[in-house]
Structure 1
Amino acid sequence: MVRKFVLPDFIFESSWEVCNQIGGIYTVLSTRANTLQQILNDRIIFIGPDCWSERPCPFFEEDLSLLAEWKSTAIQEGLQLRVGRWLIPGRPIAVLVDFKPFFACKNEIYAQFWNDFKVDSLHAYGDYDEASMFSYAAAKVVESFYHYQLNDSFKVIYHGNEWMTGLGLLYIQKHVPQIATIFTTHATSIGRSIAGNNKPLYEYLLAYNGDQMAEELNMQSKHSIEKQTALHVDCFTTVSDITATECKVLLDKPVDVVLPNGFEDDFVPKGSAFTAKRQAARRRMLKVASALLGETFDNDTLIVSTSGRYEFRNKGIDVFIEAMNRLKNDGRLAKKVLAFIDVPAWMKEPRQDLMERLRSKQTFTQPLNHPMLTHWLNEQDSDRTLGMINNLGLDNNEESNVKLIFVPCYLTGQDGIFNLSYYDLILGNDLCVYPSYYEPWGYTPLEAVAFKVPCITTDLAGFGLWAEHTLGHESEIMDGVKVIHRTDYNFSEVADGIKETIIEFSLFDKKQVEKSRSHAFQLSKKALWKHFIKYYETAYDLALRNAQKRLKA
């Protein structure tokens, strides 16, 4: 007999990235929300930080009539919050909470969590205080709402994402024990730190001690809240099998459920709109390159890009640059290659000289100074990407068939140079490259294939492993995704693998290109939330059952 899942009546979900577009977690939550809205119909409430001060939040629309009676009570209880709708498909209810008032009593809060759960906040620095006070404020929002509008007859879940929500999950566990708790780590803080500090993560993983490495890398406080949250919640989850192994070793807690990241394809244009947007994106990228380099690029140019968070080694930015360096000297390359590094850095401003050229109708035959950079940077001389480009002599000279351009800004549609959003630019690529060393899942390759752009990734990315598992064989570029084997030490082989794949793709005829693009798109369809939401249902069921056991103990 098949056991029937116990599903929640109400879900609260919190993240630093609710109504706050920073990275991949925003994509996880914002694309999944519509599926959950269809199931729960406004019985899911997302809680995010009100970090906008006097500026309007572009992802949030306040509704003064929504939950007005509870909001009035919450304000009387000392909470400062706004209630409205998250401006994404499904338009779920969102609460933005101002966490700054809790800074005044943070030491008392930290002391209480040490006494209750042995959370070590003594070594806190950087964003720890800000994240923790948000987490605490979010939990107070959940507590207030539960006592005002719900009761023990409701099956309720509080789901927190990343270590930044840990304090709140533990608060709910103690103060509102009737609520079942789920914690999702999208990447362990200590694992990311080991990888980012150029230490071999994978070969020595089983020999690492998480607590010891946290002390060595000055990560004690983040590691402590993450570990204690994992140990105490009703259901501990992560996003891929590769990160599940990491959790078991570094946090001393096996995950209960793996929640792979899906997406909704409602942001992918259809039919003639797709064709028009692809053509517009290509025109813009070619125009920017022409203005920057003083060179004409026809539509047969092979446009390649990498993108993601600015983690130089973890995201494989270093190996991408090296691959372009090797590619420029390979005579087998059948087309000119225009390669973009779309990675937000410490951007100062868009280049005025480039903006003037883009406004001009004149044709330019000489490159601008620094012809590999679209926006000026703060502390430009110490930027790692520019440093490697310069050290390798990738100066975009006229003779080279490979031109490499660093786009160090968030592509919001208002960057001053491209003025197109990331999703409006990505579909103009012919090929995307994400050669990650540390990548628990990997939304960028999933987004690429959803836009019919074949991509290159590695088997150290959760998405890469999923793609090969789904296809049932080693994945090649004709399948829509080329998965390159990557280890702690095979940097050179990965660079060669990228180079060889780009050469192979450049030699494809039109029919082969369309076949690769079609296969990429078909693979993306297998990662829709309607297929992956079942894993969440398993987690909800487990959390609710474990909460009941906890209450009866």
Structure 2
Amino acid sequence: MEIEKLFPDYIFESSWEVCNKVGGIYAVLSTRAKTLQDRLHDRLVFIGPDCWKETERPYFQEDDNLFREWQLAASKQGLKIRVGRWTVPGEPIAVLVDFNQYFSKKNEIYGQLWNDFQVDSLHAYGDYDEASMFSYAAALVVGSFYDFYLDAKKKVVYHGNEWMTGLGLLYVQKHYPQIATIFTTHATSIGRSIAGNNKPLYDYLFAYNGDQMAEELNMQSKHSIEKQTAHHVDCFTTVSDITARECLELLDKPVDVVLPNGFEDDFVPRGAAFTRKRKWARKRLLDVANALLGTDLGDETLLISTSGRYEFRNKGVDVYIEAMNRLLRDKNLDKNVVAFVKVPGWVGEPRKDLQDRLASGKKFDTPLEVPSVTHWLHDMSHDNVLSMLKHLDMQNRKEDRVKLIFIPCYLTGNDGILNLSYYDVILGNDLCIYPSYYEPWGYTPLESVAFKVPCVTTDLAGFGLWANSEIGHYGEIGDGVKVIHRTDYNFSEVADNIKDTVSKFSHFTVAQVKKSRDNASKLSKKALWSHFIKYYEDAYDIALRKAEERKLAK
């Protein structure tokens, strides 16, 4: 007889990306929220950083009446919090916490962390301090709420995402042993660093020592907090089998459960709204391209893009640009192509000359100066994308059938040029390309297919491996997802494969394009949270059983 799984009465979940749209974890949490909220009815509380200060918080609606008595009590305890709702489907409760006051006691906090869990914070630099103080503050929020409303009769889970939440997880583990803890690493800090430093990760994974590599790459503190958190929480998880292998090798800890990332299609417009939004996105992308390039490209132009974090090698931005360079010389290409790179760089301001052209509504037959970027950057001469375009002599000449445009900002709807949100921009693409070298899961290709846009990914992405298993063979573009075999060393082969795929797609008939789009959409439906939430149920069960054992052992 199967034992019924334990399920929490309350879930607290923290991440730097709660109500803070800076990367893929925002998508994981914000799309999963409704599935959990439907089940827990406001007993789900997300905790994020209050990093907006006095400016408007675009994804958060404050509500002074939510847990009003606790808010007053927390304030008296010295916690600086805002309570409200995350403005995503399901509208879950979110607590944003200001953590700046804890910097003054940082050394004391780190000293205690060393004594309790041997976490090495001595080599901290960059975002380590900021993340740790947020994590500490988030743990105090959990403790304060628990003390005010809950007791040991309630099944409570605290779930932290990424190394940035490690300090808080360890704090809760020590001070609130009755609370079950779950840690999800979406990518190991040391694995990402090995890959980002142009070292071969996969062929040599078995030979790498995580501690040794952390020292070599000056990553001791991030690696230490991640490793100790993995070893001490009740349930350690990651997002794909490919990263599970990495965790075992680099953190010396097998994961308890793999939690693949799902999607919620509430974000995808339906019927006439879908058609209208796609049409508008295409028009906007073409207007921007034509104003920048001084061209008159029409709706038959193939619009393709890559997007994600600005990790030039890890996300495959380098091989994408190389593929577009090769496509320039491809005699079989049947259409003009505008290839966008949508990754947030060190952006300065939207280009005034481009804004003026767009506002005029006129057509222009001369390109603007630097016709490959929509926003000025703070350091144009040291940007990887612009440097590679210069090195390859890709200048978006009038006669070039392939033009490449860099959009170096977060697409929040008010960037000054496109003025569309990321999800609205996706709709306008014909094809999305994500040839990642290091990609634990791969949210961007999943988002792409959810919006009926066929995509290219690799078998070094968790999503790519999942897509292959669902399709039953290596995905082809007609299946909605083309999965390219990628290794430590086959960069040139991958570039050719992308070039050939775009060229092939440019010859597709209307019926073939429709079939590819429909297949993409069908595949995305298999990754809905309603299918993937069962893995979270396993993690909650494992963590709660360990917490129960602790209670009984007292």
TM-score (norm 1): 0.99
**Within 5 Å, which residues of 2 pair with 1:260-279?**
260-279=260-279
Please report how far the alpha carbon of residue 385 of structure 1 lies from its aligned counterpart in structure 2 after TM superposition. Answer: 0.6
Q: Which residue of 2 aligns with 1:203?
A: 203
In structure 2, C-alpha distance between the alignment counterparts of 1:515 and 1:495, rounded to whole Å? 25
The one-letter amino acid of 1:19's match is C
Q: Which residue of 2 aligns with 1:224?
A: 224
Please tell me whether residue 255 in structure 1 is matched to residue 252 in structure 2: no
**Within 5 Å, which residues of 2 pair with 1:489-508?**
489-508=489-508
**Within 5 Å, which residues of 2 pair with 1:59-458?**
59-458=59-458
1:220-251 CA distance string (max 9 Å, x none): 00000000000000000000000000000000
In structure 1, C-alpha distance between the alignment counterparts of 2:87 and 2:304, rounded to whole Å? 31
In structure 2, C-alpha distance between the alignment counterparts of 1:326 and 1:98, rounded to whole Å? 49
Q: Which residue of 1 aligns with 2:526?
A: 526
Aligned residues of 2:49 and 2:99 also touching (Cα < 8 A): yes
The one-letter amino acid of 1:81's match is I
Please report how far the alpha carbon of residue 172 of structure 1 lies from its aligned counterpart in structure 2 after TM superposition. Answer: 0.5
In structure 2, C-alpha distance between the alignment counterparts of 1:274 and 1:366, rounded to whole Å? 34
In structure 1, C-alpha distance between the alignment counterparts of 2:15 and 2:410, rounded to whole Å? 20
Aligned residues of 2:119 and 2:225 also touching (Cα < 8 A): yes
In structure 2, C-alpha distance between the alignment counterparts of 1:92 and 1:363, rounded to whole Å? 46
In structure 1, C-alpha distance between the alignment counterparts of 2:445 and 2:499, rounded to whole Å? 18
1:316-337 CA distance string (max 9 Å, x none): 0000000000001011001111
The one-letter amino acid of 1:183's match is F
Please report how far the alpha carbon of residue 58 of structure 1 lies from its aligned counterpart in structure 2 after TM superposition. Answer: 1.2
Please report how far the alpha carbon of residue 546 of structure 1 lies from its aligned counterpart in structure 2 after TM superposition. Answer: 1.5
In structure 1, C-alpha distance between the alignment counterparts of 2:148 and 2:449, rounded to whole Å? 45
Tell me the percent identity. 71
1:333-353 CA distance string (max 9 Å, x none): 011111000111001111111
Please report how far the alpha carbon of residue 198 of structure 1 lies from its aligned counterpart in structure 2 after TM superposition. Answer: 0.4
Please tell me whether residue 477 in structure 1 is matched to residue 477 in structure 2: yes
Please report how far the alpha carbon of residue 534 of structure 1 lies from its aligned counterpart in structure 2 after TM superposition. Answer: 0.4
Please report how far the alpha carbon of residue 361 of structure 1 lies from its aligned counterpart in structure 2 after TM superposition. Answer: 3.0
In structure 1, C-alpha distance between the alignment counterparts of 2:347 and 2:322, rounded to whole Å? 23
Please report how far the alpha carbon of residue 195 of structure 1 lies from its aligned counterpart in structure 2 after TM superposition. Answer: 0.4
1:198-235 CA distance string (max 9 Å, x none): 00000000100000000000000000000000000000
Please report how far the alpha carbon of residue 362 of structure 1 lies from its aligned counterpart in structure 2 after TM superposition. Answer: 2.4
The one-letter amino acid of 1:537's match is E
**Unaligned segments of structure 2, at least 5 residues:** none
In structure 1, C-alpha distance between the alignment counterparts of 2:222 and 2:12, rounded to whole Å? 23
**Unaligned segments of structure 1, at least 5 residues:** none
In structure 2, C-alpha distance between the alignment counterparts of 1:326 and 1:136, rounded to whole Å? 49
Aligned residues of 2:178 and 2:550 also touching (Cα < 8 A): no
C-alpha RMSD of matched pairs (Å):
0.7
The one-letter amino acid of 2:228's match is Q
Please report how far the alpha carbon of residue 147 of structure 1 lies from its aligned counterpart in structure 2 after TM superposition. Answer: 1.1
Q: Which residue of 2 aligns with 1:39?
A: 39
Please report how far the alpha carbon of residue 267 of structure 1 lies from its aligned counterpart in structure 2 after TM superposition. Answer: 1.0
Paired residues in the alignment total 553
Greater displacement, 480-489 / 370-379: 370-379
1:63-110 CA distance string (max 9 Å, x none): 111101111111111111111111111111111111111111110000
In structure 2, C-alpha distance between the alignment counterparts of 1:248 and 1:12, rounded to whole Å? 27
Q: Which residue of 2 aligns with 1:543?
A: 543
In structure 1, C-alpha distance between the alignment counterparts of 2:35 and 2:124, rounded to whole Å? 37
C-alpha change, 1:361 and 1:49, in structure 2 (3 Å) is: closer
The one-letter amino acid of 1:224's match is S
Q: Which residue of 2 aligns with 1:467?
A: 467
Please report how far the alpha carbon of residue 550 of structure 1 lies from its aligned counterpart in structure 2 after TM superposition. Answer: 3.4
